[in-house]
Amino acid sequence: MKPFIKIAFIVLGVLAISLAVFTFYSRFAAQKKALSYQFNGRVDTVEYDKKGAPIVIIKGVKYDLSVTRWDFNRQIETGDSMIKKADSMVIKIFKTDGTVIIKQ
């Protein structure tokens, strides 16, 4: 094999490994941040991204819930109440009609 091709494969391998490590670290950091979220209040605003993941504002604080494995299916609406304790992955959603949805 030519030296140029060997060098190209080595560079591509290093880039691929670096990308994998960066992706894993980013995901881990985002999960850790979501675990630290603590809120209890009424949803002021909710926005959904292209994938349907919510970003909610409760008492003026923005919470990005897209980094978790929760599947909300666009169930969160403005006016719903949400509770999440720090270091817990349980979210309780209290709908305006009295329905309670629990996500883990």
- Indicate whether 10 belongs to any domain: no
Structurally, the chain folds into a number of domains equal to: 1
Instruction: Please answer whether residues 54 and 63 qualify as being in contact, where contact means their C-beta atoms are separated by less than 8 angstroms.
Output: no
Identify the domain containing residue 72 by its residue range: 37-103
- Indicate whether 16 belongs to any domain: no
The model's pTM: 0.72
- Indicate whether 47 belongs to any domain: yes
- Indicate whether 19 belongs to any domain: no
Q: For residue range 10-39, list pLDDT tens digits in order.
A: 999 999 999 999 989 988 888 888 888 899
What the block records as the tokens of 59 is 């008492």
- Indicate whether 48 belongs to any domain: yes
Q: How many Å is the Cα radius of gyration of the chain? A: 20
pLDDT of 96 reads: 86
- Indicate whether 98 belongs to any domain: yes
